[in-house]
Amino acid sequence: MYSDEALDFLKSAKVNVGDEIRATAKDLNIEGEIMPNTEATNRDIIVIKLKNGYNVGINFRKVKVTKVKSGSGMPGFPKSNLKQDKGLPNVSLIYTGGTIGSKIDYKTGGVYMLVKPEELFYEVPELAGIAHISSNELFSISSEDMSYREWQSIANEAEKERRAGAEGIVITIGTDTMHYAAAALSFMLKDLHIPVVLTGSQRSSDRGSSDAFMNLICSVYLAAKSDIGEVGICMHSSSSDDKCHFIRGTKARKMHSSRRDAFRPINDMPLALVDIKGNIEYKNSYSKKSDIIGRAITGFEEKVALVKAYPNSTPDIIDFYLQKGYKGLIIEGTGLGHTPTSTRDENGSWLPNIKNAIGKGMIIGMTSQCIYGRVNENVYRNLRLLKNAGVIYCEDMLPETAYVKLGWLLGNYKKADAANLLNKNMVGEIKERLEYDEFLV
């Protein structure tokens, strides 16, 4: 397994395990293929397989490498003989990073994306019988490094694939911020009218307990067979490998740092359950698939922030964002949507700062850090004071979804329209009435 530093070196040289490269160093000038490092003791050694069959090992600090030719991936990775069936629904797979659909070699530290259908079919032969698959790696970015720019790229790619004939789209993506991406794509792709299924894995594909393959199979089934015209997340619905659920993109949240069934619907039921035989059980109302192809609406205002209010929290945080030119804030308030309002303490009432910011043109929306339930601006006086100051109460919307929605609104609408639309339902992000059984589902 290569050391972090050696991997950095390969990355900065833009070469990967499997690539043909030229390596130069003192008294050395060779061509060959980069191999996995299987050294137990020295993980800084770059291993190069020469054309004559010999391997050369050299410390990365002492060598320069340049790419001669991209490799075909992990050396010796097997391929399937399964042929694509053109009679099956066209499903487009877009890889954006995350461990799903990738083969990690822990001995080498190398990661190889199973991008080509013939490689994917070797690992997951079931897929060949579900859909006619086209696939490409859009980029490979860690969950924590996803920004609105990647969401925009994914949305544009999805529209392109749709216009090229895709009847359903599966996007593999890192899980930590998948629900932010799903909310963003729900708005950006609201006029695509086909199933857009985000999926990922909590355990990497080379572990026996991986959820990657089942998530992928269920996602392709949803993309190929379901009549849902919405963006959502398809992941394990329980820790047993029996079913996945498809959760509306604006109502999903990663609720556990490591469990396979970490993604849960919040204030909503799953749109559907699906098993690995392709049985789809619908559990909710949803927008139907249609032939209309609208544009991806990808504007996004980056000067929007998510702020949590809590005991002793300083209202100066509002001024901080105001001074940085932020145009919108979503507050994660306590309970029904409170901020501190007391004037007893130095870290006192948020009201004057909120009033000031709204007066200077900032849009401020309120959500609840309880996560479940809805905010309500009318129950208590301190809530009414915030409402009267111009704070927009965002009903039962998730804080993360409200944050993404405000960024998207300000990126595509005039300010007054953005403010007006923030707490109106557009794509299922707000429900008029919560059902009893939607808590801790």
Q: Which residues, numbered 142-161, are part of the site for a second copy (CB under 8 A)? A: 142-149
For a second copy, which residue of 262, 406, 418, 430 counts as binding (CB under 8 A)? 262
d(CA 30, CA 51): 10
Nearer Cβ to a second copy, position 80 or 314? 314
**Residue 254 a catalytic site member:** yes
Give how many residues touch a second copy by CB under 8 A. Answer: 76
Instruction: Show the DSSP H helices in 42-109 as ranges.
Output: none
The answer to whether 139 contacts a second copy (rule: CB under 8 A) is: no
Instruction: For residue 281, give the nearest of 291, 289, 271 by alpha carbon.
Output: 271
- Which residues in the 284-303 window bind a second copy by CB under 8 A? 302
Annotated active-site residue in 19, 44, 99, 103:
99
Q: Is residue 4 a contact residue for a second copy (CB under 8 A)?
A: yes
Q: Is 400 in the site for a second copy (CB under 8 A)?
A: yes
- Residue 78 and residue 122 in contact, taking contact as beta carbons nearer than 8 Å: yes
Write the DSSP string, 70-83. Answer: ---SSTT-----PP
Q: Which residue is catalytic, options 105, 176, 241, 275?
A: 176
- Quick one: 223 or 306, whose CB is closer to a second copy? 306
In which residue are the tokens 């086909």 written? 194
CB of 153 to a second copy, least distance (A): 12
240 near a second copy, rule: CB under 8 A: no
The answer to whether the beta carbons of residues 193 and 290 sit under 8 Å apart is yes
Neighbours of 41 (CB within 10 A): 5
CB of 154 to a second copy, least distance (A): 13
The answer to whether the beta carbons of residues 116 and 8 sit under 8 Å apart is: no
Closer Cβ to a second copy, 54 or 310, answer by number? 310
Torsion of CA 167, 172, 175, 180, to 10 degrees: -50
- H or E, element range at 282: strand 280-282
Considering the complex, what minimum distance in angstroms separates the CB of residue 258 from a second copy?
5
User: Counting contacts by CB under 8 A, is residue 37 touching a second copy?
Assistant: no
308 annotated active-site: no
Residue with tokens 């139907």: 288
- Return the residue of 12, 29, 258, 285 that touches a second copy, per CB under 8 A: 258
Figure out which of the listed residues 384, 414, 420, 435 binds a second copy, where binding follows CB under 8 A: 384
Q: 108, 175, 367, 401: which one is catalytic?
A: 175
Minimum distance between the CB of residue 356 and a second copy, rounded to whole angstroms? 17
Question: Does 412 engage in binding with a second copy (CB under 8 A)?
Answer: no
Among 375, 389, 397, 406, interactor with a second copy by CB under 8 A: 375
314 is catalytic: no
- Name the residue with tokens 């498809």: 246
Give the type of residue at 219.
S
How many alpha carbons lie under 13 Å from residue 118 in its C-beta half-sphere? 8
Stretch of residues binding a second copy (CB under 8 A), selected from 44-52, 187-195, 308-316, 417-425: 308-316
CB-CB neighbours of 18 under 10 Å: 19
Stretch that binds a second copy, among 61-69, 83-91, 120-128, 371-379 (CB under 8 A): 371-379
Per the residue annotation, which of 190, 225, 251, 254 is the catalytic one? Answer: 254
State which residue, 146 or 419, has the beta carbon closest to a second copy: 146
**Range 310-349, binding a second copy (CB under 8 A):** 310-314, 316-317, 320, 324, 332-342, 344-347
First to last CA, the chain: 40
**Residue among 225 and 327 whose Cβ is closer to a second copy:** 327
Rounded distance between C-alpha atoms, residue 93 and residue 158, angstroms: 9
The residue within the footprint of a second copy, chosen from 92, 108, 186, 368 (CB under 8 A), is 368
Is residue 181 a contact residue for a second copy (CB under 8 A)? yes
Cβ pair 372, 154 in contact under 8 A: no
Any residues with CB less than 8 A from the CB of 114 and at least 6 apart, and which?
Answer: 101, 102, 103, 120, 123
104 counts as binding a second copy under rule CB under 8 A: no
Return the closest-CA partner of residue 374 out of 353, 358, 352, 398: 398
Residue 311: count of CB within 10 angstroms of its CB: 8
Q: Does 365 bind a second copy (CB under 8 A)?
A: no
Q: Any contact of residue 380 with a second copy (CB under 8 A)?
A: yes
Q: Specify the stretch interacting with a second copy by CB under 8 A; choose among 122-130, 275-283, 307-315, 409-417.
A: 307-315
How many Å apart are CA 246 and CA 243, to the nearest integer?
Answer: 10
Using the rule CB under 8 A, is 423 a contact of a second copy? no
Q: Is 96 a catalytic residue?
A: no
DSSP result, 291-345: S----------S-EEEEE--TT--THHHHHHHHTT--EEEEEEBTTTB----SSS
Residue 240 Cβ vs a second copy, minimum distance, rounded to whole Å? 11
Active site positions, annotated: 99, 175-176, 254
